[in-house]
Structures are given as structure tokens and as C-alpha cells.
């Protein structure tokens, strides 16, 4: 994900084969363009009786596929695509005679269409014989508990929740209705996962925060007694870690989207609808406002406030609070190595240069004062 939002157009083939072949291997649900339009709220331009059953890229789509255009750089492919239908914005309606779904937001419409054509597989209800469930835990009858999952004392699992193989749900933790935990997710004691959230493999929710006190030259561990509270409709990527609060709770609000390998430290609050790309690190007690977007590998220091609606570019280092929403960037653009070394060398001399300029400005002001303010320097 870029700092400004998700990638706008999946129009290149994945390794190992065409996008159409990949889509076909995933299966599809045949449906008419007219019915798709009704379900996603788009307008039809062309033949609404066209049947599609898969999503694919413009380049590799076939007659039973539906493709989309969200990035203008792929507009030329509209003229050559073999797709049975395409999803476009109002400005691209005349660019192809292919049957179309017209939407003000083609990428979001594509997401809805892909969900309809490629629904997630629903595991069978019930508890695998190898799962270990404490007698005091509560598991809804409609839930699915995978092989070797462990559910500790007083934990609760909601209706239609899916607990993947080798997951661990800690003492008194709560997993809400329709939550999906992929394999090997760990939910520490007393943490809460809100309804309809999705947690990918390897994520760890509620491990201790990095709380240590210097005690005579040795580190003394500070008990971390807070929780992690995850709201509804949250997605947490693979191997992402969210630390429990030191005293108060770490909070992930509704509809937050977290990529893979993110570290969120203790007592952070991530506002609703924020989207954070991979390898971001957020130090403790930082508050990220609603609707923020943070690019990959950005690093945010602790005890900061980031205004709602802020966009932070990839690899940006944030050391102070951001009080006003906007786009913030600190990473230096890539340069040829020799040029970068020259720029870095000059950057190291900026303080010296600033001191020299300050002295020159002072000398100039003194000279003008001695000259009676006429501006003539002798």
C-alpha cells in the first residue's frame, strides 16, 4: 500500500501464470452483469445479460471474466481486453465497447464484485477432535474450531466464528461473532476481538509491552496488566503484533486495516478506519486518529498524537505530534549512490552553513547601523 491508499489497479499477471488462469483455479460463481449491478449499486452500460464468473486483469481476462480500470496508466488496455465485462469510472465509458459496470469508485466496486464472485470458503461447524477446550470456556454451536486449537479457561467464542488450526485463545479472552482467525494466531488472556474481524496467520494479540524500569543498572520488568481491545470489522495481517496495555488498554477501533508485520506497542490507540501498511512500527502511548493512512516501514515515536485524516508516506520517521491533517514525508527519494553521497555530505554541513549565514547577517546589520541605515556598506 502506498502512503496515499491501496494500489489502484491489479493489472499485471502474478508469477507462475496469467491472472485469468489464477482466477479460474480459484473457482467462480456465474452471474449476469445485470444482477451484479443490482448487488453492487453500479450502472450498466451495454449488454446486461453477459455472464461472468471470475475477476481478472484487463490484460489476461477472457470472455467469462470481469476486469476493472482504476489506474489511468492501464487505460490503453481497455481497447484490447478480451474480458466479457469491465468496471470503469464515468470518464472511461467511451473507451471500450465492452459491456460495463460504471461506478464513481471502480476499485471499491471491483472489491464488492470480487467478494460476490469468489466468496470465502466456510468451514464446517463443530470442534475438531484434537482441539483442547477448557470446560469453563464458551463456544457457540455455530463456531468452527480447527485441529490442535487451544481455548483456555473462561474464554468465549462467538457465533459462526472460525478458529484455525493451532490457534491459542487465552484465559477469559473473547472472540466475537463471525470472527475468522487463520492458523497459528495467538490471542493472549482477556483480550477482545470484535465481530467480523479477520486475523491472519502468526499474528500475536496481547503479548507484553516493552515495559522496563532501570533499577540500579538492571532492568526490572513492569507487569503489563492492560488488554488489547480490537473493534469490529478489523483486519490484522500475518505476523503483526499488538502489545497489551501497561495499565490501560491498547485499542484498535472499528474498521482498522493492518498489513503484515506491523508492531503496535502498549497503550496505543488506532482510530477507526485507519489503514497501516507493512513493517510500520508505532511506539507506546501514541494515538493515531481516524481515517489516517500510514505507508510501509514508517516509524512513529511514542507518546505522540497524529491528527485524524493524516497521510504518512512510506519510510517516514515521525518524532513529534502531527496536529494538522495533511501528507507528511521525511524519507529521501532514491538517488544514484555517488549522488546520494554528495548530497549526504552537504547535508552534514548544514549546521555549519547556517552558523556562517547567521554571522554574515549580523555583520550586515551592524554595517548598515554604522552607516546610518542607508544600506551602504563601507
Question: What is the model's pTM?
Answer: 0.85
For the beta carbon of residue 169, count every other beta carbon within 10 angstroms: 30
Alpha helices by DSSP H, 82-190: 106-117
What pLDDT score does 108 carry?
Answer: 97
Q: Do 303 and 155 sit in the same domain of this protein?
A: yes
Domain residue limits at 348: 337-370
Asked whether residue 14 is assigned to any structural domain, the reply reads: no
Asked whether residue 9 is assigned to any structural domain, the reply reads: no
**Residue 74 Cα distances to 112, 179, 184, angstroms:** 21, 36, 39
Q: Strand 192-193 to strand 174-175: parallel, antiparallel, or no bridges (unpaired)? A: parallel
Among 67, 98, 117, which residue terminates a domain? 117
Q: Do 159 and 302 sit in the same domain of this protein?
A: yes
Beta-ladder partners of 221 = 212
Q: Do 212 and 281 sit in the same domain of this protein?
A: yes
Total domain count, the chain:
3
**Alpha-carbon gap, residue 330 to 378, rounded angstroms:** 44
Asked whether residue 230 is assigned to any structural domain, the reply reads: yes
**Which CATH number belongs to the domain containing residue 78 in this structure?**
3.40.1390.10
Q: Do 66 and 205 sit in the same domain of this protein?
A: no
Q: Do 212 and 262 sit in the same domain of this protein?
A: yes
Asked whether residue 10 is assigned to any structural domain, the reply reads: no
Asked whether residue 12 is assigned to any structural domain, the reply reads: no
Q: Do 283 and 354 sit in the same domain of this protein?
A: no
Asked whether residue 309 is assigned to any structural domain, the reply reads: yes
Asked whether residue 233 is assigned to any structural domain, the reply reads: yes
Q: Do 136 and 106 sit in the same domain of this protein?
A: no
**Distance of alpha carbon 303 from its chain centroid, rounded?**
22
Q: Do 276 and 345 sit in the same domain of this protein?
A: no
Tell me which of 128, 266, 303, 342 is the catalytic residue: 266
Among 65, 96, 117, which residue terminates a domain? 117
* Cβ 34 vs Cβ 40: under 8 Å: no
Average per-residue pLDDT for the chain: 91
Q: Do 146 and 282 sit in the same domain of this protein?
A: yes
For the beta carbon of residue 161, count every other beta carbon within 10 angstroms: 25
Q: For residue 322, what is the DSSP state?
A: B
**Alpha-carbon gap, residue 154 to 200, rounded angstroms:** 24
Asked whether residue 377 is assigned to any structural domain, the reply reads: no
**Which CATH number belongs to the domain containing residue 219 in this structure?**
2.160.10.10
Determine whether 291 is an active site residue.
Answer: no
Among 68, 94, 117, which residue terminates a domain? 117
Q: What angle do CA 326, 327, 331 make, to 5 degrees?
A: 150
Q: Do 82 and 134 sit in the same domain of this protein?
A: no
Q: Do 344 and 320 sit in the same domain of this protein?
A: no
Nearest Cα neighbor of 14 from 80, 59, 68 is: 59
Q: Do 98 and 240 sit in the same domain of this protein?
A: no
Q: List the pLDDT tens digit at each of the 378 positions of the chain.
A: 444 343 333 333 333 333 333 434 455 779 999 999 999 999 999 999 999 999 999 999 999 999 999 999 999 999 999 999 999 999 999 999 999 999 999 999 999 999 999 998 888 899 999 999 999 999 999 999 999 999 999 999 999 999 999 999 999 999 999 999 999 999 999 999 999 999 999 999 999 999 999 999 999 999 999 999 999 999 999 999 999 999 999 999 999 999 999 999 999 999 999 999 999 999 999 999 999 999 999 999 999 999 999 999 999 999 999 999 999 999 888 899 999 999 999 989 999 999 999 999 999 998 888 776 555 544
Amino acid at each position: 500500500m502506498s502512503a496515499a491508499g491501496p494500489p489502484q489497479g491489479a493489472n499485471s499477471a502474478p508469477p507462475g501464470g496469467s491472472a485469468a488462469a489464477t482466477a479460474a483455479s480459484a473457482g467462480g460463481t456465474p452471474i449476469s452483469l445485470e444482477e451484479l449491478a443490482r448487488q453492487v449499486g453500479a450502472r450498466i452500460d451495454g449488454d446486461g445479460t453477459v455472464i461472468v464468473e471470475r475477476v481478472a486483469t484487463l490484460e489476461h481476462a477472457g470472455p467469462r471474466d470481469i476486469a476493472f480500470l482504476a489506474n489511468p496508466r492501464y487505460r490503453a488496455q481497455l481497447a484490447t481486453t478480451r474480458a466479457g465485462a469491465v468496471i470503469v469510472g464515468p470518464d472511461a465509458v467511451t473507451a471500450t465497447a465492452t459491456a460495463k459496470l460504471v461506478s464513481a469508485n471502480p476499485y471499491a466496486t471491483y472489491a464488492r464484485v470480487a467478494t460476490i464472485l469468489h466468496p470465502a470458503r466456510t468451514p464446517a461447524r463443530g470442534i475438531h477432535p484434537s482441539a483442547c477446550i477448557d470446560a469453563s470456556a464458551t463456544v457457540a454451536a455455530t463456531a468452527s474450531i480447527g485441529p490442535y486449537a487451544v481455548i483456555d479457561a473462561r474464554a468465549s467464542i462467538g457465533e459462526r466464528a472460525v478458529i484455525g488450526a493451532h490457534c491459542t485463545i487465552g484465559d477469559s479472552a473473547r472472540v466475537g461473532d463471525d470472527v475468522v482467525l487463520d492458523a497459528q494466531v495467538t490471542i493472549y488472556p482477556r483480550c477482545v476481538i470484535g465481530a467480523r474481524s479477520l486475523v491472519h496467520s502468526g499474528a500475536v494479540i496481547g503479548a507484553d509491552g516493552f515495559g522496563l524500569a532501570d533499577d540500579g543498572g538492571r532492568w526490572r520488568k513492569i507487569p503489563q496488566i492492560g488488554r488489547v481491545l480490537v473493534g469490529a470489522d478489523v483486519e490484522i495481517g500475518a505476523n503483526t503484533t499488538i502489545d497489551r496495555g501497561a495499565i490501560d488498554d491498547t485499542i484498535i477501533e472499528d474498521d482498522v486495516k493492518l498489513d503484515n508485520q506491523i508492531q503496535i506497542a502498549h497503550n496505543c490507540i488506532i482510530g477507526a478506519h485507519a489503514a497501516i501498511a507493512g513493517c510500520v512500527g508505532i511506539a507506546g502511548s501514541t494515538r493515531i486518529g481516524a481515517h489516517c493512512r500510514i505507508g510501509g516501514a514508517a516509524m512513529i515515536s511514542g507518546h505522540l498524537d497524529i491528527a485524524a485524516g493524516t497521510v504518512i508516506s512510506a519510510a517516514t520517521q515521525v518524532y513529534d505530534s502531527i496536529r494538522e491533517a495533511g501528507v507528511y514525508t521525511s524519507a529521501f527519494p532514491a538517488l544514484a549512490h555517488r549522488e546520494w553521497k554528495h548530497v549526504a555530505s552537504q547535508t552534514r554541513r548544514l549546521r555549519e552553513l547556517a552558523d556562517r549565514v547567521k554571522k554574515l547577517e549580523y555583520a550586515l546589520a551592524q554595517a548598515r547601523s554604522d552607516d546610518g541605515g542607508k544600506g551602504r556598506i563601507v
